[in-house]
């Protein structure tokens, strides 16, 4: 989609002068200001507008990255069996380092350059996981088989977090959170406790969303959406886990209340999706009979539709929510909320 042509400001000034909108002195002042603005150099630190060249560079970067991945796949398929362990690690390490270097060299003054860096460093995070997986698969390193998933996920999470530290984008935050969730899941699988394993990533997702809301983590909106999304997804695996059955509905309900107060339709959509999946299973357990289940689902559906309409109307009529503790966020409250979820969950999982 092409942008509309910019109007000729000089011609507009002449027309306003002819129509009597501007006096001669005013017109002269406007022309002088326009000439000064046109001759002034760009301020340092201001991002330059991305034009066609920047988009071409971005496209070439994506294409080059795909070609590199395909080439590595072909090389691995033909030479992998003949390569020693050191050669395999060198190949994977060089590819990962190239992705990191390519992202570091991307011109972040442009939006296209920032997107290119995010994608390249996302691929680098995946490359780190593959590299670590190949390293621990070597029996000569002495890594126990049960611990290998934890070593791989922890190393990949650390690498993704480091890249997120240098480039605060939503893509890097998502990679760091996925790595952390995989690490927590691998650690929980090592301990045969009483609680279900998926309770650990659920608690981490809730804590992540709370810390992002309190601005403890950078990228507040992305952090809340990512944390809430992983919490909702993990909670769905707790439906048939005894005393954890109510967690999915409690998660969806709490998220819906927060979304309505914050006037956030994305969070409300996540809450609705979680409720849509969890409700039929939970209702069939606690409300036997087709009529009772249908009535409960009908009531919940009407409430969600009303919440969506209420949120949309508030956003349109009132603008952003008024400043308060819940909208502005508090690091202390966020840390306390995260601890209130993480500590009891950890105790329940480790008990046994």
Under the banding of pLDDT at 50, 70 and 90, the label for residue 8 is low
Domain ranges of the chain: 62-190, 192-352
State the pLDDT at residue 296.
Answer: 67
Under the banding of pLDDT at 50, 70 and 90, the label for residue 231 is very high
Under the banding of pLDDT at 50, 70 and 90, the label for residue 314 is low
Q: How many CA atoms lie within 13 Å of 286's alpha carbon, on the beta-carbon side?
A: 16
Q: CB under 8 Å, gap of 24 or more: what pairs does 238-247 form?
A: 238/196, 238/198, 238/199, 238/202, 239/278, 239/281, 239/282, 240/281, 241/195, 241/196, 241/198, 241/199, 244/195, 244/196, 244/199, 245/282, 245/285, 246/282, 247/199, 247/202
Average pLDDT taken over every residue of the chain:
79
- Please write the tens of the pLDDT for every residue from 251-262: 998 998 888 888
Mean pLDDT of 326-348: 84
State the pLDDT at residue 44.
Answer: 46
Mean pLDDT of 193-217: 87
Residue 181, number of CB atoms within 10 A of its CB: 23
- Please write the tens of the pLDDT for every residue from 74-99: 766 677 777 788 888 888 899 899 99
- Please write the tens of the pLDDT for every residue from 105-150: 888 887 888 888 999 999 899 989 988 888 887 665 667 777 888 9
Under the banding of pLDDT at 50, 70 and 90, the label for residue 325 is low
Mean pLDDT of 271-296: 74
Q: Is the pLDDT of residue 47 over 50?
A: no
Dist. CA 278–CA 246, nearest whole Å = 9
């Amino acid at each position: 989609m092409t942008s509309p042509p910019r109007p000729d400001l000089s011609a507009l000034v002449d027309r306003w002068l002819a129509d009597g909108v501007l006096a001669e002195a005013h017109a002269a002042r406007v022309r002088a200001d326009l000439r000064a603005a046109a001759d002034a150099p760009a301020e340092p630190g201001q991002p330059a507008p991305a034009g066609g060249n920047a988009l071409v560079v971005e496209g070439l970067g994506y294409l080059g990255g795909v070609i590199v991945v395909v080439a590595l796949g072909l090389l691995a398929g033909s030479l992998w069996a003949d390569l020693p362990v050191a050669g395999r690690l060198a190949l994977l390490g060089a590819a990962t380092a190239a992705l990191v270097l390519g992202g570091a060299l991307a011109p972040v003054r442009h939006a296209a350059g920032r997107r290119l860096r995010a994608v390249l460093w996302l691929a680098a995070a995946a490359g780190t996981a593959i590299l670590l997986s190949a390293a621990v698969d070597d029996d000569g390193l002495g890594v126990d088989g049960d611990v290998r998933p934890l070593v791989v996920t922890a190393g990949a999470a650390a690498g993704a977090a480091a890249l997120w530290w240098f480039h605060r984008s939503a893509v890097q935050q998502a990679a760091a959170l996925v790595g952390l969730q995989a690490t927590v899941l691998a650690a929980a699988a090592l301990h045969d406790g009483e609680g279900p394993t998926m309770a650990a990533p659920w608690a981490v997702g809730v804590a992540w969303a709370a810390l992002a809301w309190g601005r403890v983590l950078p990228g507040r909106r992305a952090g809340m959406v990512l944390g809430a999304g992983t919490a909702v997804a993990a909670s769905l695996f707790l439906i048939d886990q005894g005393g954890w059955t109510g967690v999915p509905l409690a998660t969806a309900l709490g998220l819906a209340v927060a979304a309505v107060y914050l006037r956030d339709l994305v969070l409300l959509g996540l809450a609705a999706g979680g409720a849509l999946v969890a409700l039929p299973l939970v209702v069939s357990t606690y409300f036997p009979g087709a009529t009772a289940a249908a009535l409960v689902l009908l009531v919940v559906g009407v409430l969600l539709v009303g919440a969506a309409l209420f949120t949309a109307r508030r956003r349109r009529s009132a603008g952003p929510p008024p400043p308060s503790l819940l909208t502005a966020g508090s690091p202390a409250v966020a840390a306390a909320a995260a601890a209130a979820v993480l500590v009891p969950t950890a105790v329940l999982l480790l008990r046994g």
